[in-house]
Amino acid sequence: MTDAKGNVNGNAVSIDSDGLIEGNYDQVVGTFDEMGLKEELLRGIYAFGFEKPSAIQQRAIVPCTTGKDVIAQAQSGTGKTATFSVSILQRIDHTNPTVQALVMAPTRELAQQIQKVLSALGEYMNVSVHACIGGTSIRDDQRKLESGVHVVVGTPGRVNDMVSRNALHTDSIKMFVLDEADEMLSSGFKDQIYEVFKTMPNDVQVVLLSATMPNEVLEVTAKFMREPIRILVKKDELTLEGIRQFYINVQKEECKFEVLCDLYETVNVTQAVIFCNTRRKVETLTEQMTKHDFTVSCLHGDLDQQEREIIMREFRSGSSRVLITTDLLARGIDVQQVSLVINYDLPSNRENYIHRIGRSGRFGRKGVAINFVTDNDAPQVPLDEQIESSSLATEKTERRDKSKRKNNFENEEFISGNLSSKILNAARRQLHEDQEGGDADEFSSKRQRNFSIGASSLASNDEEDDQQGFEDYDDAVIELNPQDEVDLERFIVKKESSQMNTLYDIIQAKIDAKKTEAETALSQADPNDFNMRDMDPEIVEMYVQIGVLLSKYRSGKIPKAFKIIPKMINWEQILYLTRPDEWSAAAMYQATRIFASNLNPRMCQRFYNLVLLPRLRDDIDEFKKLNFHLYQALCKAMYKPSAFFKGIILPLCESGTCTLREAVVFSSVLTKVSIPVFHAAAAMLKIADMEYTGSNSVFLRALIDKKYALPYRAIDAVVNHFVRLKRDEREMPVLWHQCLLSLCQRYKNDMNEHQKAAIHDLIRFQGHYLISPEVRRELESKETDDGHVVTTLVIPTRSDDTMEF
Residues 113 and 188 in one domain: yes
Residues 227 and 243 in one domain: no
Of 78-82, 548-552, 762-766, 792-796, the poorest mean pLDDT is in: 792-796
Q: Is the pLDDT of residue 574 over 50?
A: yes
Angle, alpha carbons 641-620-603 (nearest 5°): 30
Residues 274 and 380 in one domain: yes
| Beta-sheet strands, E only, within 233-310 | 243-251, 272-275, 297-299
**Averaged pLDDT for residues 93-108:** 89
Residues 308 and 418 in one domain: yes
**Averaged pLDDT for residues 674-689:** 92
pLDDT category of residue 359 using cuts at 50, 70 and 90: low
Evaluate whether 693 touches 652 at the Cβ level (below 8 Å).
no
Q: What is the DSSP string of 436-464?
A: TT--HHHHHHS----EEES---HHHHHHH
Asked if residue 20 belongs to a domain, the reply is: yes
Of 293-297, 304-308, 724-728, 770-774, the poorest mean pLDDT is in: 304-308
Most confident of 231-245, 393-407, 466-480, 685-699: 685-699
Asked if residue 309 belongs to a domain, the reply is: yes
**Averaged pLDDT for residues 669-677:** 90
CA distance 325 to 302: 11
Residue-wise pLDDT tens digits, 621-651: 999 999 999 999 999 999 899 999 999 999 9
Q: Is the pLDDT of residue 439 over 70?
A: no
Pairwise pLDDT comparison (2 vs 423), residue with the higher score: 423
Asked if residue 459 belongs to a domain, the reply is: yes
Most confident of 42-51, 68-77, 279-288, 693-702: 693-702
CATH of residue 255's domain is 3.40.50.300
Residues 206 and 267 in one domain: no
pLDDT category of residue 440 using cuts at 50, 70 and 90: very low
How crowded is residue 661: how many other Cβ atoms within 10 Å of its Cβ? Answer: 14
Evaluate whether 732 touches 738 at the Cβ level (below 8 Å).
no
Which of these, 724, 748, 754, 747, lies nearest to 736 by C-alpha position?
724
What is the model's pTM?
Answer: 0.40
Asked if residue 772 belongs to a domain, the reply is: no
pLDDT at site 525: 53
CA distance 743 to 701: 8
How crowded is residue 64: how many other Cβ atoms within 10 Å of its Cβ? Answer: 27
Residues 422 and 277 in one domain: yes
Of 75-79, 113-117, 306-310, 564-568, the poorest mean pLDDT is in: 75-79
- The residue type at 172: S
- 3-state DSSP assignment of residue 343: strand
Residue-wise pLDDT tens digits, 303-346: 777 777 788 777 777 667 788 888 766 565 666 667 788 888 88
- 3-state DSSP assignment of residue 531: coil
Q: Is the pLDDT of residue 789 over 70?
A: no
Residues 189 and 298 in one domain: no
**Averaged pLDDT for residues 596-610:** 92
CA distance 528 to 577: 10
Most confident of 120-124, 392-396, 581-585: 581-585
Rounded to 5 degrees, what are φ and ψ at 681? Answer: -65, -40
- What is the number of domains present in the chain? 3
CA atoms within 13 A on the CB side of 391: 25
The region that residue 347 occupies, defined by phi over 0 for left and psi between -120 and 50 for alpha, beta otherwise, is beta
Q: Is the pLDDT of residue 411 over 60?
A: no
Residues 438 and 377 in one domain: yes
Asked if residue 703 belongs to a domain, the reply is: no
- Helix/strand/coil (H/E/C) assignment for every residue in 138-173: HHHHHHHHHHCCCEEEECHHHHHHHHHCCCCCCCCC
**Residue spans of alpha helices (H) in 525-600:** 537-551, 560-563, 571-577, 585-598
Asked if residue 260 belongs to a domain, the reply is: yes
pLDDT category of residue 454 using cuts at 50, 70 and 90: very low
CA distance 452 to 698: 59
pLDDT at site 423: 56
Residues 212 and 249 in one domain: no
Q: What is the 3-state composition of the chain as percent helix, strand, coil, each rounded to the nearest 5? A: 50, 10, 40
Of 423, 440, 466, which marks where a domain is finished?
A: 466
Of 376-390, 570-584, 662-676, the poorest mean pLDDT is in: 376-390
**Residue spans of alpha helices (H) in 11-155:** 39-48, 55-65, 80-91, 108-121, 138-147
pLDDT category of residue 526 using cuts at 50, 70 and 90: low
Of 203, 237, 271, which marks where a domain is finished?
A: 237
pLDDT at site 260: 83
| Buried-exposed string 663-694: b where 16+ CB fall within 10 A, e elsewhere | bebbbbbbeebebebebbbbbbbbbbeeebbb
Q: 268 lies in which domain range?
A: 239-401+413-466
Evaluate whether 197 touches 176 at the Cβ level (below 8 Å).
yes
Q: Is the pLDDT of residue 280 over 90?
A: no
pLDDT at site 9: 41
- The residue type at 428: R
pLDDT at site 351: 66
Mean pLDDT of the chain: 76
Residues 158 and 197 in one domain: yes
pLDDT at site 251: 75
pLDDT category of residue 521 using cuts at 50, 70 and 90: low
Evaluate whether 765 touches 728 at the Cβ level (below 8 Å).
no
pLDDT at site 587: 95
Q: Is the pLDDT of residue 101 over 80?
A: yes
Pairwise pLDDT comparison (804 vs 367), residue with the higher score: 367
Residues 449 and 517 in one domain: no
Q: In the chain, pLDDT over 70 holds for what percent of residues?
A: 70
Tell me the C-alpha to C-alpha distance, in Å, between residue 654 and each of 688, 690, 724: 11, 7, 18
Q: Is the pLDDT of residue 412 over 70?
A: no
- Label the pairing between strands 205-210 and 175-179: parallel
CA distance 80 to 354: 15
CB-based burial of residue 623 (10 Å sphere; 0-12 exposed, 13-18 middle, 19+ buried)?
A: exposed
Of 71-85, 363-377, 709-723, the poorest mean pLDDT is in: 363-377
CA distance 332 to 109: 9
Pairwise pLDDT comparison (14 vs 737), residue with the higher score: 737
Asked if residue 390 belongs to a domain, the reply is: yes
Which of these, 639, 633, 626, lies nearest to 665 by C-alpha position?
626
Asked if residue 331 belongs to a domain, the reply is: yes
Pairwise pLDDT comparison (292 vs 362), residue with the higher score: 292
Q: What is the DSSP string of 359-411?
A: TSSGGG--EEEEEEEEGGGGGGGGGGTTSSSEEEEEEPPSS--GGG--S--TT
| Buried-exposed string 379-396: b where 16+ CB fall within 10 A, e elsewhere | ebeebbeebebbbbbbbb
pLDDT category of residue 523 using cuts at 50, 70 and 90: low
Of 182, 213, 237, which marks where a domain is finished?
A: 237
Q: In the chain, pLDDT over 90 holds for what percent of residues?
A: 28
Q: Is the pLDDT of residue 469 over 50?
A: no
| Buried-exposed string 753-790: b where 16+ CB fall within 10 A, e elsewhere | eebbebbeebbeebbbeebbebbeebbebeeeeeeeee
pLDDT at site 17: 41
Residue-wise pLDDT tens digits, 184-212: 776 567 788 888 888 999 889 999 888 77
Of 39-53, 125-139, 677-691, the poorest mean pLDDT is in: 39-53
pLDDT at site 622: 92
State the chain's maximal CA–CA distance in angstroms.
120
Q: Return contacts of 92-97, CB within 8 angstroms, 24+ apart.
A: 92/127, 92/150, 92/151, 92/174, 92/175, 94/122, 94/125, 94/126, 94/127, 94/150, 96/150, 96/172, 97/128, 97/148, 97/149, 97/150
Residues 16 and 37 in one domain: yes
